[in-house]
Structure 1
Amino acid sequence: MPDRTRIVVVGHGMVAARLIDDLDRYADPAALDVTVIGAEPEGAYNRLMLSEVIGGRAAVDGLAMPHRATWVRLLDGVAAVRLDRERQLVVDEHGDEHPYDQVVLATGADPRVPPLAGLEDASRWPSGVHALRTLADCRAVLARVGSVGRAIVLGGGLLGVEAAVGLRAHAVPVTVVHSGAGPLDRQLDAASATVLRHALRDNGIDVVTGGRAAEVVVHDGAVAGLRLADGSVVEGGLLLVATGVRPRSDLAADAGLPCAAGVLVDSDLRSLADPRVSAIGDCAEPPGGCSGLLAPGWDQASAVARRLARQGDSRSTGPTDGAAAPTGSTPEAAAALMAPAPEAAGGDVIRLKAKDLTVVALGTLPDDDLADTDVRVVTVTDLRSRRRVRVGVRDGVLVGASVVGDAQLAADLTATYERGLPVPADPAQLLLRASEGGGGLPTSQSPALIPGRATVCRCNGVAKSHIVAAHAAGDRTVDDVACRTRATTGCGTCTATVQGLLEWLAEVDGDPASTASDIDDAGLLPRVARPKHSARLGVTTPS
């Protein structure tokens, strides 16, 4: 038998886990020798759910992302320290050398730390100062939050606000210090950010905007507050730094690979300087730039897995641009292709994961409601009810929206946007709830009206038809569907939708005609290892 292709994966996070899973799906294990080197001892886990753990809506031990590829060698708790391209070796912290024919960098990102006095050396931060990037960070925050009089979150972006809501669940007053004009100001216009700020204040979270931090105030080796540039001090015994991330590209740069924000790669995700080196996820910078989002990272992992599988004796015979069904030992589950869901009609959908607080931003909107553009913008603002909605329509299509404080309308607008459905001639009707005058949106709570091709899980490209097909194969719980399709294993915000589809399918189980059209083009993949977190999030449908 010819020598096996040696593959070394550096990093064992969510994107590397997808790479391993897809290698197991598409490659012949006898043709590959795969070693995964991960610095964190826990192995792969769902990093997106850390703020949910802080808030008590998910358990630490429920975030693990196990896989079934027992033929892959895992070295968790071991850091890679050098990439020797000349000798084709990865050297770990113990001095052990790992030879490769192909190496995949999936090193992720580090917290971006602002230049503050007291935070110069990340290895010697004062007690009580933490980022929220790892399980170790999460455990440290949980261990401290109950003993402080106030918590401070530095950064009012998505992670910062989610973390603040999570901390507030421990009955601790929270202050968010944000250098911008308002919370989530990268996703929201000024008025929407103002409404969100009031909603946060109602929940015991103060927001200091335009606050440029200057120094961490330390007393007896522990954080006591945050001094701002104007000299004022925000007091607190816990400081959570949530000011963004930067790609972890040091290993590549030290090896002489071209890097900018991340490791520069071509459209095939190969290094511009060395075709034996690939990079995926947060550490990679493809031609379109670093997205910082999970779904593109998973797409990259799948693409590289299929390429590496072809370099060995691949058992995948399907198209390389789609999700081909494996053969292997479960032909009944691999009888057809699992056709990927079509791309959404617009760009990204950003959702705030926070209890009792709805914020959704999708597509693009003009900065100014009164700007003379080809996008018709309609807004509704009700500060007393902590609600503001903006919608933008071009040529009869919803191209953007932002919603603060209306969970049902946010769900309906998202469904309309993702399916590319036509909208009323008068965009104002988009803001009418179906239950309040027969408004202009198809309700997101009517599963029978959702077309089979409609995307349910954006992170994994899972359509309604895939959920229906999984149900037809015997999957009856969210966990079962997650194991089969991966739906709910990303950000978790589609959990309620999947649960709703399963409940609807249980009701119509005796009427094959109700679902037959939804499974015509949906094949199945065999189940993967159970993602333990998926059924524990406590997510409910909007009411």
Structure 2
Amino acid sequence: MTRKDLVVIGNGMAGARALEEIIARPGAERFRITVFGDEPGGSYNRILLSRVLAEGPDEIDDIYLNPVDWYAEHDVTLYPGVRVVRIDRPGRKVFADDGTVVGYDTLIIATGSRSAFPPIDGMWSDDATLTPGVFGFRTIDDTAAMLDHARDVPNAVVIGGGLLGLEAAHGLQQHGVDVHVVQSGPVLMSRQLDAEAGAILRRVLERDHGMHVHTGHRPVAIRSAGSVTAVLLADGTVIDTGMVVVAAGTRPNVGLGVAAGLTVERGIVVDDRMRSVDDPDVYVVGECAQHRGEVYGLVAPLWEQAAVLADVLTGADPDAEYHGSRTATKLKVAGVDVASMGVRAPEGEDDEVVRYSEPKRGIHKSVVLRDGRLVGATLLGDTSKVAYLQQVLDRGLPLPEDRAELLFTLSGAAPAEDVSEMDGSTQVCNCSGVSKEEIVACVEGGETSVPGVVAATRAGTGCGTCRGLVERIVTWAAESAPCCAACGHPAG
């Protein structure tokens, strides 16, 4: 078979995952593959930058997914630190900022997203350069610069009270920095938490972690004298500081798509096979893709998109389709367990809410029910029921007569988190995008120790929230695995 030319623009988590899926099919027999990545080096797990910030630069090597050598080993040409600046669709070529020009038969755009910087006076020293002492929090270089600067300042202001902002605040605290978090909206982590849960999280962060949290306050100016000296809020409050970290969200990187004449709304619009709606030879995956009106920033949807793209592109399953993803997160924020799935609050007058809050202990649990089915859940401080709730949501399981069983394991009730009953597609590790079936396959492939499975799948190497569940799945899978292919009986 004559190999065709496949070019991938973007070597972040979505682009790298799509590449892995293509090679596994095996796409390297079908394509000559070229990858362009903005950042030097191989691909890495961006989610784990918060761990690098908290624990220091020695952790950087541990967050790489595919080092540079991996590409050569898989017959992939990598241009690290080289940015594609133009796509010529009629000529089927891409042009890079170093003068490289590469032709393609098929193109994958996986340009991800960039940090969003709100309009604040004094943030920029010129059109392209942040004021000294102001940092985004998106790349390894950002993280390294923050660590270097944090050695010389006693305090910092983090703009943004979402997941990334709170992780940045927690990371800086590990280096002795006194941190203020400024959130223009009234609720911390508003994408994951309702107002009551957000208020409890704020209380925990202030009382137990010593953060200074300012919700409902908008930063309007950054003052500097060679470097940052203060942040001014809209109500006139002045926070003296030597460092500002902007973690106010992200924006899809769609400039290449716009310039290439592709349909772009919030993201580059794709069909159910992850192809641009304008060009059947251009595929889009990750945070820069818009599918059925949705743009996803979580790991699990990106992984699902990459698998469909690879199936279609390699012919492994030409009829594969992506139909969207249920959004669910399970993570640890500044040491606090948080999980959310589906809707956060009732949306109709007939929606039912079951809620339990214990603010002094930092615990909040709520579920939203509709027509006898679970449509959403929020857990803070105690996520022991998250695996069970995820199954109930994903599989549309009937609800228990005693609704309290959704939030607690009651006396006499069957264990809700029995891993043997967990669906194989359940996402176990959000940080690395590992499902139960991937862990089981690893065990059935001969790796029966927890450290070995963790090393092979990367499950549990991120925030650590899922580590206990990973251990239980490995133990169950090892006990259930055939002792040999010949007899097919359980081990022992």
Number of the residue aligned with 2:65: 65
Does 1:366 find its partner at 2:366? no
> Could you tell me which amino acid in structure 2 is paired with residue 401 of structure 1?
A
Taking the aligned partners of 1:291 and 1:517, their CA distance within structure 2 comes to 42
Cα separation, partners in 2 of 1:475 and 1:101, compared to 1, 3 Å: same
Cα separation, partners in 2 of 1:458 and 1:347, compared to 1, 3 Å: farther
Cα separation, partners in 2 of 1:441 and 1:475, compared to 1, 3 Å: same
5 Å-filtered alignment, 1:444-463, equals 444=417, 446-447=418-419, 449-451=420-422, 453=424, 455-457=426-428, 463=435
Taking the aligned partners of 2:251 and 2:490, their CA distance within structure 1 comes to 42
5 Å-filtered alignment, 1:230-379, equals 230-310=235-315, 316=316, 321=320, 347-367=326-346, 372-373=349-350, 375-379=351-355
Identity %: 36
Number of the residue aligned with 2:212: 206
Does 1:17 find its partner at 2:16? yes
Q: CA deviation at 1:501?
A: 2.1
C-alpha contact 1:55 1:166 (8 A) present in aligned 2: yes
More deviation in 42-51 or 278-287?
278-287
Deviation per CA, 1:333-375: give whole Å up to 9, x if none: xxxxxxxxxx99x93222343353122222224358xx742x3
> Could you tell me which amino acid in structure 2 is paired with residue 215 of structure 1?
A
Cα separation, partners in 2 of 1:418 and 1:497, compared to 1, 3 Å: farther
Cα separation, partners in 2 of 1:63 and 1:157, compared to 1, 3 Å: same
Give the one of 93, 96, 116 matched to 1:112: 116
Q: Specify the SS of the correspondent of 2:65.
A: coil
Number of the residue aligned with 2:375: 399
Q: Specify the SS of the correspondent of 2:345.
A: coil
Number of the residue aligned with 1:385: 361
Deviation per CA, 1:400-420: give whole Å up to 9, x if none: 221222243455544554564
C-alpha contact 2:85 2:256 (8 A) present in aligned 1: yes
Taking the aligned partners of 1:78 and 1:254, their CA distance within structure 2 comes to 18
Q: Specify the SS of the correspondent of 2:364.
A: strand
Cα separation, partners in 2 of 1:200 and 1:247, compared to 1, 3 Å: same
Deviation per CA, 1:287-338: give whole Å up to 9, x if none: 232122222222222222233323xxxxx4x675399xxxxxxxxxxxxxxx
Q: Specify the SS of the correspondent of 1:59.
A: helix
Q: CA deviation at 1:238?
A: 1.8
Give the one of 404, 415, 420 matched to 1:442: 415
Number of the residue aligned with 2:164: 159
Q: Specify the SS of the correspondent of 1:408.
A: coil
Number of the residue aligned with 2:138: 133
Does 1:180 find its partner at 2:179? no
Taking the aligned partners of 1:207 and 1:441, their CA distance within structure 2 comes to 41
Give the one of 425, 429, 432 matched to 2:408: 432
Q: CA deviation at 1:98?
A: 0.7
C-alpha contact 2:298 2:327 (8 A) present in aligned 1: no
Q: CA deviation at 1:498?
A: 1.5
Cα separation, partners in 2 of 1:456 and 1:30, compared to 1, 3 Å: closer
Q: CA deviation at 1:74?
A: 0.7
More deviation in 89-98 or 250-259?
250-259
C-alpha contact 2:312 2:318 (8 A) present in aligned 1: no
C-alpha contact 1:465 1:518 (8 A) present in aligned 2: no
Does 1:481 find its partner at 2:481? no
> Could you tell me which amino acid in structure 1 is paired with residue 345 of structure 2?
P
> Could you tell me which amino acid in structure 1 is paired with residue 407 of structure 2?
L
Deviation per CA, 1:417-461: give whole Å up to 9, x if none: 456444322323433344xx44x67343x44x4346362436587
Number of the residue aligned with 2:439: 467
More deviation in 132-141 or 179-188?
179-188
Gaps of 5+ in 1: 311-315, 324-342, 520-543
Number of the residue aligned with 1:496: 468
Taking the aligned partners of 1:509 and 1:100, their CA distance within structure 2 comes to 44
Taking the aligned partners of 2:282 and 2:318, their CA distance within structure 1 comes to 24
Taking the aligned partners of 1:140 and 1:270, their CA distance within structure 2 comes to 37
C-alpha contact 1:396 1:424 (8 A) present in aligned 2: no
C-alpha contact 1:37 1:80 (8 A) present in aligned 2: yes
Q: CA deviation at 1:73?
A: 0.5
C-alpha contact 2:299 2:433 (8 A) present in aligned 1: no
Give the one of 88, 91, 94 matched to 2:92: 88
Taking the aligned partners of 1:175 and 1:261, their CA distance within structure 2 comes to 31
More deviation in 233-242 or 451-460?
451-460
> Could you tell me which amino acid in structure 2 is paired with residue 143 of structure 1?
D
Aligned Cα RMSD in Å? 3.2
Taking the aligned partners of 1:492 and 1:13, their CA distance within structure 2 comes to 22
Q: Which has the higher contact order (CA 8 A, sep 6+)?
A: 1
C-alpha contact 2:163 2:189 (8 A) present in aligned 1: yes
C-alpha contact 1:391 1:427 (8 A) present in aligned 2: no
Cα separation, partners in 2 of 1:397 and 1:354, compared to 1, 3 Å: same
Segments of 4+ moved more than 6 angstroms:
489-492, 507-512, 516-519
Taking the aligned partners of 2:452 and 2:319, their CA distance within structure 1 comes to 27
More deviation in 495-504 or 85-94?
495-504
Higher strand share: 2
Deviation per CA, 1:163-183: give whole Å up to 9, x if none: 222222223221110011121
Does 1:150 find its partner at 2:155? yes
Q: CA deviation at 1:13?
A: 0.7
Taking the aligned partners of 1:124 and 1:217, their CA distance within structure 2 comes to 15
Give the one of 218, 233, 241 matched to 2:224: 218
Q: CA deviation at 1:467?
A: 2.9
Deviation per CA, 1:210-260: give whole Å up to 9, x if none: 1111111112x2112211122211222221111111111112212222322
Cα separation, partners in 2 of 1:464 and 1:38, compared to 1, 3 Å: closer
Number of the residue aligned with 1:536: none
Q: Specify the SS of the correspondent of 1:384.
A: helix
- Output the TM-score relative to the length of structure 2: 0.87
Q: CA deviation at 1:490?
A: 7.9
- Output the TM-score relative to the length of structure 1: 0.79
C-alpha contact 1:189 1:367 (8 A) present in aligned 2: no
Aligned residues: 480
Taking the aligned partners of 1:193 and 1:441, their CA distance within structure 2 comes to 31
Cα separation, partners in 2 of 1:11 and 1:115, compared to 1, 3 Å: same
